Amino acid sequence: SRLQGDITSQLTVEVDLPEGKKTLPITAVRGMSTHSDLRVRKAAYDAEMRAWPTVATSCAAAMNSIKGEANAVNRRRHWASPLDASLYANSVSRKTFDAMQSAVTASLPDFRRWMNIRAKLHGDKNGLSWWNLFAPLNVAPSQISWDQGVQLVRGAFAAYSDNLAGLVDRSLAEKWIDAEPREGKVGGAFCMSFVDDRSLVLLNWSGSVDSAQTTAHELGHAYHNTQLADRTPLQKRLPMALAETASIFCETLVVEEGLSRLSGDERLALLDTDLGGANQVVVDIHSRFLFETEVFARRQRRTLGVSELNEMMLGAQASAYGNGIDQSTAHPHMWVLKPHYYGSHFYNWPYTYGLLFGLGLYAQYSRDPERFRGGYDTVLSRAGMDTAEELGRAFNIDVTDEAFWTASLDVLRARMVDYESLAQKHLK
């Protein structure tokens, strides 16, 4: 994990931009995936295709070492599969996982249909090109400043509670957040518990609405940490699936606040950002689950080379995305750049769990806000103590029932229908 992080954080590459060639850190290049100019997005994609192979051999060695060790440990602990070990570590039963996966698989055709509508908006004829997966729609202003993004998040949090809004103020006043992308800084975003009830948040702000949603997500983790402050060290250790509870809920607050006051093209642009994120957490995460499952299985038999890992990545993307993307533009090097692969457990499915459980929680909040607020903080404080099923029951949710997961996905399906309706005038 350390090797992969050190190598990728120092990686730079020359990008052939419209204004000329520039050598940039790979984190900045990755951030260009949300740029409004197609030429910039395509140049960034081409640069990535050149950059990642230069560090792939070292990262493959790290991957083989970690997954080989994980397989050996799992055998010694008599786990039937790496997934069973991951489920145990996340306090989630196999019955719950199977219910969620069944609902996710059933939703893939709906996501592919949405991707093809989005592809037409970007002029793609054979599904979305990879460089358009995160592209903003040029139908409404899409770039926002850091200050605007913070105010967007704070406003949504304030509509829920003063305590949540106060967390935004405190995080800025006490300088919890590092938002600027720069050379030597790892990509992505995360939040870590620091001292007492304080947290530290890493972001790579790109000026997109998606960056604002990511800020809300990470501050949701920080809020969760404030509720865990009085627990013992062992009680503060959260299973990854349950650690996403507050973050997804906070992200949903921002989306719903925007949808409640926007119409026309501005609403379409927000739905585009939101569904683009959901597409990553449901469809892309599913591809990563398929990939990592295959890595564990093949690593039982042999060491895996770069070309084999690339081929496995493309196969997983084809299975998950289907005709939703232009498969000729698929990204074979995603395994190199995602740090989460470089750990002993599956990192992927808990994100899907977090999104769909968070949407289910928001539905409960919408039905009875006062009752929800009264119990929410207590449930967050118990996330390191209770199983997923026990936390669900606290909100009258049965997470072992596929119907719950289908209902959460139905929220996204309704947004897809709204999206398609709003997009019609741009498709004529």
Higher pLDDT, 399 or 358: 399
Q: How many domains, in total, are found in the chain?
A: 1
Would you say residue 50 lies in a domain? no
3-state helix, strand, coil split of the chain in percent (to 5) is 70, 5, 25
Percent of the chain beyond pLDDT 90? 73
Would you say residue 347 lies in a domain? yes
Q: What is the CA radius of gyration of the chain?
A: 21
**In 160-253, which ranges are E strands?**
177-178, 190-193, 199-202
Would you say residue 411 lies in a domain? yes
Q: What is the pTM of this model?
A: 0.86
In the numeric block, the tokens 């118990």 are attached to 382
Q: Are 357 and 365 in contact (CB under 8 A)?
A: no
Would you say residue 162 lies in a domain? yes
Would you say residue 206 lies in a domain? yes
pLDDT band at 142 (very low <50, low <70, confident <90, very high): low
Residue 218 has pLDDT above 70, yes or no: yes
Q: Please, what is the average pLDDT of the chain?
A: 93
**pLDDT tens string 41-100:** 999 999 999 999 999 999 999 999 999 999 999 999 999 999 999 999 999 999 999 999
Residue 242 has pLDDT above 90, yes or no: no
Would you say residue 174 lies in a domain? yes
Give the 3-state secondary structure of residue 257.
helix
**pLDDT tens string 344-391:** 888 889 889 999 998 988 888 888 898 888 888 988 998 889 999 998
**Exposed/middle/buried for residue 242 (C-beta within 10 Å: 0-12, 13-18, 19+):** buried
Report the distance separating Cα 262 and Cα 236, nearest Å: 39
pLDDT band at 33 (very low <50, low <70, confident <90, very high): very high
pLDDT band at 240 (very low <50, low <70, confident <90, very high): confident
Host domain of residue 309: 81-428
Would you say residue 5 lies in a domain? no
Show the tokens assigned to 373: 């607020």
The predicted structure's pLDDT at residue 303: 98
pLDDT band at 183 (very low <50, low <70, confident <90, very high): confident
Instruction: Identify the CATH number of the domain in which residue 398 sits.
Output: 1.10.1370.30
Would you say residue 246 lies in a domain? yes
